[in-house]
Amino acid sequence: MHTLFRSFSLSLSRSLALSLSLSFLPIFTPSLLLSLSLSLSLSLSLSPHTHAYTLTQHPCFLTRDLLFWQGDRIAILPGVYSESAVINVDLEIYREGDKGDVVFVSRHDTTLLVESCKVKLTEIGLCVEEGALMHHALHIDSAEVMLDGCEIFGGLYATFACGDSTLNARQTRFHSAYSFGVSILNSIAHFHDCFIFCNKEDGFNIGGGTSKVFLSYSNF
């Protein structure tokens, strides 16, 4: 059984801080129902620009808002995390280490909504486990997102980009959506060495007069 946000570290700039809201949901196992939460301990290093955060699992339910800063780099230990997040500040989120998967799972909600910012995800999984008729694993709205070695699956669309967004995906898999694997509306998307497969409808849905999609060495 995986732990929930066992630890991560941030490198903070002194730019304007915006909030990232994380809603943590119960995780079901075959034998029992676990309600997980986070307790946050903050330790400051000698540098005024660096903060170190440690988040520890406790057997109770809690929703917590975390404050991240422009340009933070967040390392996530391998595990399955139940959450729905909204990001509106430039961030880089990546898997810590070279073993095990990092998967964010939502139920009856969009897993990750990125709004009006730039975000890079490296070796991160996003999944909608329930409520696939209304929500997406990744929703990009007026933002720029880079995916490197990720897996995006489930939801109405595995990925939905709208509002003059830009999506750059490399070695990323989009699959198991209830409708389209990737839906692009008035946005631009680049796919290199990607796989779009096992979606109930077509791999792509492209709409709006300004949409452009570029494919190289990709399969769908």
Query: Which of 192, 19, 25, 220 is closest to 117 using CA atoms?
Result: 19
Instruction: Please report whether residue 1 resides in a domain.
Output: no
Burial level of 157, CB count in 10 A (0-12/13-18/19+)?
buried
Please tell me the distance from the alpha carbon of residue 217 to that of residue 220, in angstroms, as a whole number: 10
Q: How much is the pLDDT for 219? A: 92
What is d(CA 196, CA 217) in angstroms, rounded to the nearest whole number? 12
Q: Is residue 3 assigned to a domain?
A: no
Q: Span 45-73, mean pLDDT?
A: 42
pLDDT-wise least confident of 66-70, 184-188, 215-219: 66-70
**pTM attached to this predicted model:** 0.73
Residue 68: band (very low, low, confident or very high) from pLDDT cuts 50, 70, 90: low
**Domain range spanning residue 100?**
8-216
174 in any annotated domain: yes
- pLDDT-based confidence at 99, cuts 50/70/90? confident
Residues 138, 158: contact at Cβ < 8 Å?
yes
How far is it, in rounded angstroms, from Cα 153 to Cα 182? 10
- The answer as to whether 2 is a domain residue is no
In a domain, 200, yes or no: yes
Q: Which two tokens stand for residue 47?
A: 């540098």
Number of structural domains found in the chain: 1
Residue 67: the pLDDT is: 58
What is the average pLDDT across 143-171?
98
Taking 3-state DSSP, the helix, strand and coil percentages for the chain, each rounded to the nearest 5, stand at: 0, 60, 40
Whether 165 contacts 143, CB under 8 Å:
yes
- For the ranges 84-93, 96-105, 190-199, the maximum mean pLDDT occurs at 190-199
189 occurs within a structural domain = yes
Surface-to-core class of residue 192, CB atoms within 10 Å of its CB (0-12 exposed, 13-18 middle, 19+ buried): middle
> Are the beta carbons of 190 and 165 closer than 8 angstroms?
no
When comparing pLDDT for 106 and 33, which is higher?
106
- Band (51; pLDDT cuts 50, 70, 90): very low
Please report which confidence band the pLDDT of residue 196 belongs to, taking 50, 70 and 90 as the band edges.
very high
